[in-house]
């Protein structure tokens, strides 16, 4: 797809140069404007297609437990729901769930208060994706439990007053150092 976009850019550049060289023609500006609009539409479509190919379907085979959730103060929330609608051209890049952690476990709690608990040892990858929503990078946590792999995607809730997400990454590094694939930093939020 990238080769097609480069080819499209090359063809557009050649057409624009030829039109500028032959600018004595009366319809020079409308033709150049039409070609530019067509180029913009095709480039936007190509970029969206590339971005969409990076959004893999989310594994939804999660075995949730009963609705009993201990609203404990030891659970630290690490996710937030973006303000924008959670729709990405028909695909959802993040789960509609809340993500928490404590000293030993990673929790996924759905809207209807079902929960799934994973030990930090079951997490084999924590990494950031290429996508951003509202200037917040989408992170993914890959878990392997009973030979099944599950991928969770969410936007972090880091702010000046909330350091839960960096604390979560630090905890992952302490317990399972090979799992952290992306570095956290202020400039790479």
Distance from C-alpha of 114 to C-alpha of 63, rounded to nearest angstrom: 9
The tens place of each residue's pLDDT in the chain, 189 residues long, gives 667 777 778 888 888 777 777 777 677 778 778 888 888 888 887 777 766 655 554 554 666 665 555 555 578 888 877 665 445 544 555 667 888 999 889 998 887 778 888 998 999 999 988 877 777 888 889 999 888 888 888 888 877 777 888 888 889 889 888 888 877 666 555
- By CB atoms closer than 10 A (0-12, 13-18, 19+), residue 72 is exposed
Contacts of 16 by beta carbon, 8 Å cutoff, 6+ apart: 32, 35, 36
Q: What pTM does this model have?
A: 0.60
């Amino acid at each position: 797809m990238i080769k097609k976009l480069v080819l499209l850019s090359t063809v557009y550049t050649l057409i624009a140069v030829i039109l500028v060289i032959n600018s004595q023609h009366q319809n020079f500006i409308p033709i150049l404007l039409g070609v530019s609009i067509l180029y913009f539409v095709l480039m936007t479509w190509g970029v969206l297609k590339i971005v969409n190919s990076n959004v893999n379907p989310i594994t939804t085979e999660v075995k949730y437990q009963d609705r009993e959730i201990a609203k404990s103060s030891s659970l630290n929330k690490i996710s937030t729901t973006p303000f924008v609608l959670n729709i990405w051209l028909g695909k959802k890049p993040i789960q509609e769930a809340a993500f928490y952690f404590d000293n030993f476990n990673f929790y996924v709690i759905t809207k209807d208060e079902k929960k799934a608990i994973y030990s930090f040892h079951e997490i084999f990858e924590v990494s950031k994706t290429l996508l951003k929503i509202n200037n917040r990078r989408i992170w993914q946590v890959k878990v392997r439990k009973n030979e099944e792999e599950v991928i969770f995607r969410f936007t972090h809730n880091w702010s000046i007053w909330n350091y839960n997400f960096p604390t979560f990454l630090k905890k992952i590094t302490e317990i399972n150092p090979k799992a952290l694939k992306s570095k956290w930093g202020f400039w790479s939020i």
